Amino acid sequence: MWMLNFIYYVVPFIVVLGILVFIHEFGHFIVARLSGVEVSAFSIGFGKELWGRRDKYGTYWKLSAIPLGGYCQFLGDGDASSSSNEGLENLTEEQKKHAFAFQNPFKKLAIVLAGPGFNYLFAILIYFVLFAAFGRFSVPPVVNEVMEGGAAQSAGIVAGDRITNINGHEIKEWSDISKEVLLAADHQVSLDVLRDGKTLHFDIALLEMDKEQRNKTIQKQYMLGVKSVGVLEFTHEKLSVAQAFVQSCKEVWDVTAMTLRGVGQMITGARSSDDVGGIIRIAEMSGDITKNETFLDFITFLALLSINLGLINLFPIPVLDGGHVVIFVLEILSGRQISEKVKEYLFKAGFVLLALLMVYATKNDIVHLINRFFS
């Protein structure tokens, strides 16, 4: 049994994280190379080296034992996060031309943004291939069944109602309903439905109901209490190459906007921060999809995670790419470099904040697993 769990959960997790980390770091790498900046090391994972080789340009490529990230280290960097410049005084004048620390802030900004940018491009590519190859599948937001004892039944929603708006956001397909219900502040929704050509308005308090998960277990979740018009009633829309590209960009934009809305609600207190998940949650979701869903679901999940990795790295937290972006933008606007002492304090504060967030996310993951297996 443990061997099956290892295959279903650990292996897909390592594959998913390895692909996304490689894409992210390769973005930094390729833009640095094109900009004339020398890359000293490119690592997938941290800790003990498992395999490594040096290419003809001097970059040392390696796989390391702890597969929870990676880094792209530039010439002159004192550490993998490019937050320390110890040892720069030992570089020759020729080496300084190719060291990251001595580049102008515009070039630094381009290199730093390339990591999250490649995560976004990777997601766009996945969606583009899916849309171009298979077309666009969607389920119309029409209620086929109202669940007994649910919030929708209490409010007066009936089968045949077409949900057109939830909390001020237009509903175009069934998946939009799930997104808006998931993001509903204080578990309250204000929605419009189209019934017999007339628009009706409802204010509904969501109720906790049993929901079957991918692994067939039952969990409590705040739900509207409606079911779709049936799995076979999909509308299939063939897309041209141009339409597939536009649709893939829109999909990436929608996922980003939804994620930012959720983060904003957590910051304002309108949404519980218990939804913050980390590495364990990713491993759990990877395993569940591998066991119970199709390969296309796995690829779509990969795109979703790539978007989130790119977005999180753009948050203005020192140590993350977004923290570097803020510093380089300030240097561009001010016309002078921020002192190394100030940067040092910023990066230390950023590291502490990031560590606290990881601890909190891991705590949430553990609580989630306990509730999943013992509730």
C-alpha dist (Å) from residue 266 to 51, 130, 259: 41, 32, 11
Q: Which two tokens stand for residue 123?
A: 């997601």
Distance, CA of 176 to CA of 157 (rounded, Å) = 17
191, β-bridge pairs? 166, 202
Let me know if 94 is a catalytic residue: no
Structure tokens at 311: 């977005």
Distance CA 239, CA 131 (A): 7
Question: How many residues in the chain?
Answer: 375
Burial of 232 (0-12, 13-18, 19+ CB in 10 A): exposed
The CB density around residue 270, as the number of other CB atoms within 10 Å, is: 15
CA dihedral (96, 99, 100, 101) positive or negative: negative
Residue 139: other Cβ atoms inside 10 A:
19
Contact (CB, 8 A) for 312 and 279: no
Nearest 5°: phi and psi at 103? Answer: -80, 160
Task: Give the closest residue to 126 by CA, choosing from 312, 283, 297.
Answer: 297
Could you tell me if 32 and 39 are in contact, meaning their C-beta atoms sit under 8 angstroms apart? Answer: yes
Point out the residues that are catalytic: 25
